[in-house]
Amino acid sequence: MGLFDKIFGKKVEEQIEENASADIFKFDLSEVEAVAETETDIESDLEHEDIAESEPVFEVPASTSETTDNTVTIETVPEPEVAVTADEVADVSPEPELETETPQQIEAKYEKSLKKTSKSFGARFNEFLANFRSVDEEFFEDLEDTLIMSDVGVDVATQLTDDLRREVKLQNAKSKDDVKRVIIEKMVDNFGESGLNTQLNLQDGLTVMMFVGVNGVGKTTTIGKLANRFKNEGKKVLLAAADTFRAGARDQLVEWARRSGVDVVVGKENSDPASVVFDAVKRAQNEQFDILLIDTAGRLQNKDNLMKELEKMGKIIKRELPDAPHETLLALDATTGQNAISQAKEFSNVTPLTGIVLTKLDGSAKGGIILTIQQILQIPVKLVGLGEGLQDLENFDEALFVKGLFQDLI
């Protein structure tokens, strides 16, 4: 049973013997109903970082202890712009623990976050079908164009169109609804056949996760939300601020550490990021932390020197822990659409990527990019950002994504 059948119910039995000889170019779509108005202004570039770079930042207190010439370790973190001594730090309260979400609440968040994508997707397909009177070769050519415009990608669109030529004939699709169902069914089932492991690779001992990606995609926010989740699960969490170049980057991660009630290792401004990573790994080992989350600079994919620095950090981690990092997660902004593919290709040339974090999905109409990422790049999406709150970073759920993506078509 394919993914489509599991989610939307068993399809009508295929009568392959009767339909094998059917001519798919002869049936008529003249009675296609008028399509609803195409929603406009769906390509919003909503920016909703939980902590904006423009917010007040603060300096690392002088009472912190040196671990090397380049790094300092903050045992616990003070409130912004408040001087707190080492003895007083323990009294600073983190954010209160949040209640565990129910499956129904998570499903509702998926549906809400994918509404823009679904409406964009549905509007294009309904308009496309309404403009045709018969399913001929021109129909399939325009279908391919529609898929590409829906951020499915050229390779996936070509593959799907070729598959659909056969499926339409086998299922003897003769109406608008029949053709639409065949198209969606094939897209869903192809997506469900990827066989990629979308679960985070958590270890019994120390789990090291490194986060990479260009500026502004939400790496630091993702780390903060993930730290809060792991802390609420009872794990001992350490953050590493290896982005030592961007002004305010260190302070942003320090603020997230305060909110989540976890420890963080930071480096002096413009210090060697690899030294921060080295000290963080050593401390995580010596003090028996369960999780180490490493933030890196928002490096552009055409900056060779920055990419070499990322490679250097990876080598240092492996020198201390040969099987680490256990996750190298690339953060991609869902609002960038196909540009995310080029970013993923460039980063995968420097370091093996174990997964994707797709951020700002709730503010994008381009959620269909997940189909391309998993089918073409063969990199699993492991986490998705579904909102601004602490609990709005969710594990990627294939079934919930598909239901949300096609909610305006089924």
Please name the amino acid found at residue 231: K
Task: Please tell me whether 359 is known to bind a ligand.
Answer: yes
pLDDT category at 103 given cuts 50, 70, 90 is confident
In three-state form (DSSP H/G/I as H, E/B as E, the rest C), the secondary structure along the chain is CCHHHHHHCCCCCCCHHHHCCCCCCCCECCCCCCCCCCCCCCCCCCCCCCCCCCCCCCCCCCCCEECCCCEEEECCCCCCCCCCCCCCHHHCCCCCCCCCCCHHHHHHHHHHHCHHHHHHHHHHHHHHHHCCCECCHHHHHHHHHHHHHCCCCHHHHHHHHHHHHHHHHHCCCCCHHHHHHHHHHHHHHHHHCCCCCCCCCCCCCCEEEEEECCCCCCHHHHHHHHHHHHHHCCCCEEEEECCCCCCCHHHHHHHHHHHHCCEEEEECCCCCHHHHHHHHHHHHHHCCCCEEEEECCCCCCCCHHHHHHHHHHHHHHHHHCCCCCCEEEEEEEHHHCCHHHHHHHHHHHHCCCCEEEEECHHHCCCCCHHHHHHHHCCCCEEEEECCCCCCCEEECCHHHHHHHHCCCCC
What integer is the mean pLDDT of 123-150? Answer: 80
CATH number at residue 347: 3.40.50.300
Task: Give the C-alpha separation, 311 to 305, whole Å.
Answer: 10
Please indicate if the annotation marks 360 as binding a ligand.
yes
Q: Is residue 122 part of a domain?
A: no
Flag whether 336 is marked binding: no
Q: Is 83 annotated as a binding residue?
A: no
| Residue from 189, 145, 115, 161 nearest 371 by CA | 189
87, part of any domain: no
pLDDT of residue 20: 41
Distance CA 309, CA 217 (A): 19
219 is in an annotated binding site: yes
Q: Which domain holds residue 350?
A: 207-397
pLDDT band for position 286 (cuts 50, 70, 90): very high
Q: Considering the domain boundaries, does residue 261 fall inside one?
A: yes
CA dist., res. 17 & res. 33, Å (int): 31
Mean pLDDT, residues 385-399 taken together: 87
Q: What is the pLDDT of residue 65?
A: 42
367 pLDDT tier (thresholds 50, 70, 90)? confident
Is 384 annotated among the ligand-binding residues? no
Using 50, 70 and 90 to split pLDDT, how confident is the model at 172?
A: confident
Q: What is the mean predicted confidence (pLDDT) over 295-309?
A: 74
Report yes or no on 187 lying in a domain: no
Least confident of 5-9, 54-58, 304-308, 393-397: 54-58
Residues 346 and 223: their CA atoms lie apart, in Å, by: 22
Q: What angle separates helix 339-350 from helix 369-376, to the nearest 10 degrees?
A: 30
In a domain, 145, yes or no: no
68, part of any domain:
no
Kindly state the average pLDDT of the residues 87-102.
53
In a domain, 275, yes or no: yes
Tell me the pLDDT of the chain averaged across its residues.
74
Res 239 pLDDT > 90: yes
Determine if residue 72 is labeled as part of a ligand binding site.
no
- Quick check: 349 pLDDT over 70? yes
Residue 211 pLDDT greater than 70, yes or no: yes
Quick one: tokens of 18? 């009767």
Tokens of 376: 């073409």
The answer to the question of whether 224 is labelled as a binding residue is no
The share of the chain scoring above pLDDT 90, in percent, equals 27
- Whether residue 362 is annotated as binding a ligand: the answer is yes
Is residue 25 scored above 70 in pLDDT?
Answer: no
Cα(139)–Cα(272) distance, integer angstroms: 57
Residue-level pLDDT at 96: 54
240-251: per-residue pLDDT in tens?
Answer: 999 888 768 889
pLDDT at 62 over 70: no
397-402: which pairs have CB atoms within 8 A and are 24 or more residues apart?
A: 397/106, 397/110, 397/198, 398/3, 398/191, 398/192, 398/198, 399/3, 399/6, 399/7, 400/106, 400/107, 400/110, 400/111, 401/110, 401/114, 401/367, 401/370, 402/3, 402/4, 402/7, 402/188, 402/191, 402/192
Residue 219 in any domain: the answer is yes
2 is in an annotated binding site: no
**Predicted confidence (pLDDT) at residue 362 exceeds the cutoff of 50:** yes
Per residue in 176-200, pLDDT tens?
777 778 877 877 777 766 678 899 9
| 341-to-160, 254, 293, 299, 316 alpha-carbon distances in Å | 18, 31, 24, 16, 28
Other CB atoms within a 10 A radius of the CB of residue 172 amount to 18
- Residue 351 annotated as part of some ligand binding site: no
Beta strands 237-241; 355-359: pairing state: unpaired
Q: Is 296 annotated as a binding residue?
A: yes
**Does 214 carry a binding-site annotation?**
yes
Three-state SS annotation for 67-110:
CCCCEEEECCCCCCCCCCCCCCHHHCCCCCCCCCCCHHHHHHHH
Question: pTM for the whole thing?
Answer: 0.73
Does 113 have pLDDT greater than 60?
A: yes
pLDDT at residue 330, as a whole number: 95
Domain count, the chain: 1
Hey, what are 310's tokens? 């990322």
